[in-house]
Chains A and B, each alone.
Chain A
Amino acid sequence: MLRREGDIRIPSGCAIAAIMNRKGERFNGQQILASIAAMHQRSNGLGGGFAAYGIYPEYRDYFALHIFYDDDGARQICERYLQHHFRIKHQEPVPVRQSRRIAGAPLIWRYFARPREDKFYREHIGEEEFVARVVMTINADLRGAFVASSGKNMAAFKGVGYPEDIGEYYRIEEYQAYIWTAHGRFPTNTPGWWGGAHPFTLLDWSVVHNGEISSYSTNRRFLEMYGYKISLQTDTEVIAYAFDFLMRRQGLCLNDVVDVVASPFWSQLEEEKQARLRRKYSGLLLNGPFSIIVATNNGLVALNDRIKLRPLVAALQDEFLYVASEEAAIRVVAQRLDRVWSPGGGEPIVGLLHDKKGLLDVAPSAIQAAQSA
């Protein structure tokens, strides 16, 4: 019997793309769909997905839980669990457009919810930590249920299929977002499970990722020490958790996080602080080929591994920041570009909303480096 993602580790190759409006002006999903579709050859029809930020302004203060269910029984069990931990403002099936090219879809529901105060106060943890724990518990322990996304005012739309078909299925052209990221997947085998597709998310974090991380087991075991339940066995999952751990829990700024996950070589270190970060978080050095786009509700960071084993291109035009595995995927939606460049290994591309700098605490040097690169 074929084992499902989570029971077995499946390396994959991929295409990634992102489009962001730095003023926070929202636009629909047609551009990102066109962008990722332009890289059709990089995926094999076994995974595609999108993350969108700013799509639920009417519920901006609620955690938007997108959940896949294998069947209605799983839904009932999971909803009882949700009722127990959340006050749910609104719930509904996620609207989809049936298509010949998409098969085996799970039941997909969304819930706009807030944690029950008595629950997380009792455990002396914050609201976000509470939600993170609930999400990890559902994904690890509730068979037949999988939380596809759990942030505020954002969602992940993903499944098994080519990304353009997945986009059509989820009707993403009907959503308005200021950040879109996308992923086309080329996994090395064919179990075809919707939860295994990208983006992988936790709270507001979403990650799309191209490449395989050879340090997976080291990274995973490091995160497990801090209570993360790794249920999917994909690199992408540990990257999302690594960002969550370093930024939300350890309070590092983005610049420092980049120095951890794509640390310069010892011989290239410029300051003692980088050495310190590397020593302290050596278990989170992401080793092996990757290009990733990590997004959150006020911006995104795109990053290559430190010896740049995967492709990545960025472009700027007015308030738009484009990132993709191939330049063609940017040109297909924006012929006229102010600037196009490929960052070096370990050099982050940082895109931030103009009015929300405080949220993602980036050291000024990182922004300058990204803009002058």
Chain B
Amino acid sequence: MKIQSNSEYCLGCGLCRIYCAAAHDGYNGSVIRAFKKGTPQARAGLIEHQQQSWINTCRHCQDAPCINACITGALQKNNEGIVFIDGQRCVGCLTCVMVCPFGHIQPSLDFSRAVKCDLCRDLAEAPVCVSHCPNGALRLIEEV
């Protein structure tokens, strides 16, 4: 599974990143609380180039270099194919940040750990970036 971005309909508004940031780090999607009280960090990037824009987020690679490189086994793939970080095990060595060929994994703002897209695996619904895209430019697709 991964997020597919259709640049034909991506407006570059950035709402995907805002809702992404609010969905994680304990604010359960409340944008105001996340941004006014916390230090929100989006798990996806937005690339804009010549009036085109698209989301840059984890591809959840089949043979993921980040999993192979992780020194503590914090990076794992679940049975749905989602590549995620087990926060208990991550020691913040940031090896994964260096090996990701797409530059998707980021250090947390305090550099204590790595953060990445986990396709909102804790939520019952679609990832928040998909459900909040105002123009249907993002889709969750099965293939890798």
- Do A and B touch each other in the complex, judged by CB within 8 A? no
